[in-house]
Structure 1
Amino acid sequence: MSKSNNSQLHVAMFPWFAFGHFIPFLHLSNKLAEKGHKISFLLPKGAQAKLEQLSYYPNLIRFFPFVVPRIDGLPPDAETVSDVPFSLHVSFANAGFDGTQDQLWLAKWASSLCTILWFLQLQYIAHLTKTDGKDGKDVTEEELIETPPGYPSIVRFRGEDVGAIIDFLVVPETGLSIEDRLISSIEENHAIAFRTYREIEGPFCDYFVEQFGKTVLLRGPCFPETKNTQLEEKWACWLSNFEPSSVVFCAFGSQITLQKEEFQELVLGLELSGLPFLVALRPPQGCVTVEESLPEGFEQRVQGRGLVHGGWLPQELLLKHPSIGCFVNHCGYGTMWESLLSDCQIVLIPSLAGQILNTRLMVDELKVAVELERGEKMQISKEKLSEAIKLVMDKDSEMADLLRRNHSKLNQTLSNRDLQDEYINNFIQGLQNLIK
């Protein structure tokens, strides 16, 4: 990050290689460019075309594409984490961050300018303090579940979450674990920026400062001013067949690929709920299309009230449609904010470590959602999913009413544009103060 004589900032963005991260970084880039600041956006070459249409200030936001190095074990054309199985995400991180240094100028800047580490999730970083400096393989299950001393919240891991945490901490044969990479990055940078509101995660901010002694900047979720506000006609027409707040929308983001058995239990659970539904999921592992993965007779049984789509859908626009009444999702950080800004009831099915903590924040502290009760080895049950959906959609349920009221109250706070502008202005001032 550099600064010119007229207080114009020049900020380099280098997000994690997933569209669920590219897009929030670009939203922030638009907000900064709106104030007259320049952005250099680093990203894999293949992702540029999809993101350019979301850049509202091409004169101030410049893309710098790079090529992700080819390493053994990774698909030859892998450019984002959606191109590789979860078991290879750590190797992919090492290839992306370490193997691109000869292509990028960012590392040369870091020695002489103020550098800021950007994270999208705060509670997970707080949890890492208890394993600082440890090889993930040496951390016991008890240490993984136990919260660090002084941890400010009831948001925590449980015994059934251990597998997901170990997957995240595992150390590859070469390179760093993601946990070690995060900890070392925190220590090496001048300040840390979080995509959050103090109104939601204030105690975690204070705890982080106590633990690491770093400057913390909050930029808020940076909700986009969407230029294309029209939902594609085919989806809008289909949804118009149903009553307001009656349709269940299910999506798990770009990184989650289910096993075929899980995929089938999920869609059967939606069918069992008896409600109309729209699903946007990647084809399950070992399958090319979602159509070939569907249970026998499923399409005929749900014809007219259920659709399963194997590609990307505009989640933000769908959540604004009046027919959508329930959002079943994985509680990725960006999706968490989008669900909070919606009017939908929320059912959460997390699988990765960060998603689990997001879910506990939504369920245990904010009390705006329910978490699906999972079976052995975190398996999805169609009966449990159907029960969860019916619970939150039951207009006579006290629990559903409580969730709805809590959600509505929080939505009013978060959707306040003056509050969002205040966070962005304070964030920019914080950046300028760092390099005075």
Structure 2
Amino acid sequence: MSSLSSTKLHVSMFPWFAFGHFIPYLQLSNELAQRGHRVSFLLPKGAQAKLQHLNHYPNLINFYPLVVPHVDGLPLGAETASDVPFPLHMHLAIAFDRTQNQVETILTTLKPHFVFFDFSHWMPVLAHQLGSKAIHYSMIAKHMTNEELIQPPPGYPSLLVLLKHKEFEIATVKILAEDHNGTGVPSWYSRITSSMKGGDAIALRTYHEVEGPYCDNLRQQYAKLVLLTGPVLPETPATKLDEKWTNWLCNFEQGTVVYCAFGSQNILQKDQFQELLLGFELCGQPFLVALSTPDGCATIEEALPEGFEERHPSVGCSVTHCGYGSMWESLLSDCQIVCVPYLGDQILNARLMVEELKVAVEVERKDNGWISKESFE
């Protein structure tokens, strides 16, 4: 490794097929290219055009498009997690694994020094066959079973960043931790743990000052080198905000508008969507909500509570689902943070910010996961 310290490296990137993984991987690629290293980025063919503008070093970062095979149960043409609802992501994982032969052909030709990967549990064996080092680069920083997250194992560094004994929270983690109906398709949990065990090092998208004890725990648990990249967020766009939003925001004092976004994969039921909007009304602050159309509705307008659009014809605090990228965007802003987590790692990210770092508040849910409008008052 010392012989590589003064050498320009060739690094390959193969993230899970989701934009929440593509973007931080590409930002890390930009950081490496800025230092003169060459990067080969493997991704679905249809995703390339959507990411091209984030490639700041096209002379050093090359995209290698993959044809995502069709799998029964997936819509025709589905390539990424944003193309399908979360319950179908395991079908997407099957398609992801079936690109292995294409990946092997590309990497055999490229022969990179390092391969960064996350959910491709088969990558360490492939990389080692080619003489490459395999670096598991995780977009989430805590990997435990649902039982461990309620009653942590020896050495777990916190009594605060845990699941509560709630039906909703336990169910969300089971989705990540359990095998899938005897199909032989590895669970998300087993993908991550086997990738960590098989890789040469573990890279995490965090700072030691924020999650140091958890990073140290992983280092001890897996006896691997743990590398921290920081949050690697994209640069703030230089383009101006659309005039209609600038004019609207200028109606309010700085730091008073509540902004709510739950990511593209958290799709609410219509009744919970309406309850959320009514809760923002009750809080008495101007608000801007960016949410996907609820299940069973053709349009956002159709899903709005009765009379809502008439009451808000123009439609800082950040209300976030606590996905790892959104968590860092909130932490690095000047906004007050309100957490409404939905999936297992999002719940733990919320507990980290609320209970341990004490920089946010979490909206209370009922045991079944329901959020009442009164929770926002």
Give the alignment's TM-score, normalised by structure 1. 0.77
Q: What's the counterpart of residue 102 of structure 2?
A: 103
Change (3 A) 1:291 1:8: same
Residue ranges of structure 1 left out of the alignment (5+ in a row): 132-140, 308-324, 388-436
CA offsets, 1:47-86, max 9 Å, x none? 1111101111110111111122211111122111122121
Could you say what secondary structure the match of 1:49 adopts? helix
Q: What's the counterpart of residue 298 of structure 1?
A: 308
CA offsets, 1:283-331, max 9 Å, x none? 1112232111111111001223xx2xxxxxxxxxxxxxxxxx1000100
Rounded to whole Å, the distance in 2 between the matches of 1:245 and 1:171 is 45
Q: What's the counterpart of residue 334 of structure 1?
A: 325
Which residue type is aligned with residue 158 of structure 1?
Answer: K
1:14, CA displacement in angstroms?
Answer: 1.3
Question: Equivalent of 2:132, from 94, 110, 113?
Answer: 113
Q: What's the counterpart of residue 237 of structure 1?
A: 247
2:159 equivalent to 1:168 = no
Change (3 A) 1:225 1:85: closer
Could you say what secondary structure the match of 1:377 adopts? coil
Could you say what secondary structure the match of 1:245 adopts? coil
Question: Equivalent of 1:356, from 347, 357, 368?
Answer: 347
Change (3 A) 1:286 1:13: same
67-76 or 341-350: which moved more?
Answer: 67-76
Whether the 8 Å contact between 2:177 and 2:189 is mirrored in structure 1 is yes
Question: Equivalent of 2:374, from 365, 380, 383?
Answer: 383
Could you say what secondary structure the match of 1:103 adopts? helix
Change (3 A) 1:226 1:115: same
Could you say what secondary structure the match of 1:331 adopts? coil
Whether the 8 Å contact between 1:19 and 1:254 is mirrored in structure 2 is no
Change (3 A) 1:182 1:242: same
Change (3 A) 1:259 1:110: farther
CA offsets, 1:185-228, max 9 Å, x none? 11111001001100001111111111110111111112333452
Which residue type is aligned with residue 117 of structure 1?
Answer: H
Could you say what secondary structure the match of 2:371 adopts? coil
Rounded to whole Å, the distance in 2 between the matches of 1:266 and 1:67 is 39
Q: Which has the higher helix share?
A: 1
Could you say what secondary structure the match of 1:41 adopts? strand
Rounded to whole Å, the distance in 2 between the matches of 1:5 and 1:243 is 50
Rounded to whole Å, the distance in 1 between the matches of 2:54 and 2:177 is 33
Whether the 8 Å contact between 2:336 and 2:360 is mirrored in structure 1 is yes
Which residue type is aligned with residue 299 of structure 1?
Answer: E
Q: What's the counterpart of residue 221 of structure 1?
A: 231
Rounded to whole Å, the distance in 2 between the matches of 1:109 and 1:298 is 55
Q: How does 1:36-435 map to 2 (within 5 A)?
A: 36-96=36-96, 98-105=97-104, 106=107, 108-111=126-129, 112-122=131-141, 124-125=142-143, 128=144, 131=145, 142-153=147-158, 154-160=160-166, 161-172=169-180, 173-304=183-314, 307=315, 325-385=316-376, 387=377
Could you say what secondary structure the match of 1:53 adopts? helix
Whether the 8 Å contact between 2:318 and 2:336 is mirrored in structure 1 is yes
Rounded to whole Å, the distance in 1 between the matches of 2:55 and 2:148 is 43
Change (3 A) 1:201 1:229: farther
CA offsets, 1:157-203, max 9 Å, x none? 11112111111123222311111111111111100100110000111
1:234, CA displacement in angstroms?
Answer: 2.5
Percent of aligned pairs with the same amino acid: 57
CA offsets, 1:122-167, max 9 Å, x none? 2x22xx2xx5xxxxxxxxx755511111101121111112111111
Whether the 8 Å contact between 1:20 and 1:253 is mirrored in structure 2 is no
Change (3 A) 1:327 1:226: closer
Rounded to whole Å, the distance in 1 between the matches of 2:148 and 2:213 is 22
Rounded to whole Å, the distance in 1 between the matches of 2:318 and 2:136 is 31
Rounded to whole Å, the distance in 1 between the matches of 2:231 and 2:371 is 30
Which residue type is aligned with residue 132 of structure 2?
Answer: L
Whether the 8 Å contact between 1:15 and 1:21 is mirrored in structure 2 is yes
Change (3 A) 1:54 1:143: closer
Rounded to whole Å, the distance in 2 between the matches of 1:209 and 1:245 is 40
Residue ranges of structure 2 left out of the alignment (5+ in a row): 108-122
Rounded to whole Å, the distance in 2 between the matches of 1:228 and 1:296 is 39
Rounded to whole Å, the distance in 1 between the matches of 2:42 and 2:272 is 35
Give the alignment's TM-score, normalised by structure 2. 0.89
Rounded to whole Å, the distance in 1 between the matches of 2:354 and 2:152 is 18
Rounded to whole Å, the distance in 1 between the matches of 2:270 and 2:128 is 45
Which residue type is aligned with residue 275 of structure 1?
Answer: Q
Whether the 8 Å contact between 2:233 and 2:325 is mirrored in structure 1 is no
Could you say what secondary structure the match of 1:116 adopts? strand
Could you say what secondary structure the match of 1:93 adopts? helix
Rounded to whole Å, the distance in 2 between the matches of 1:277 and 1:213 is 47
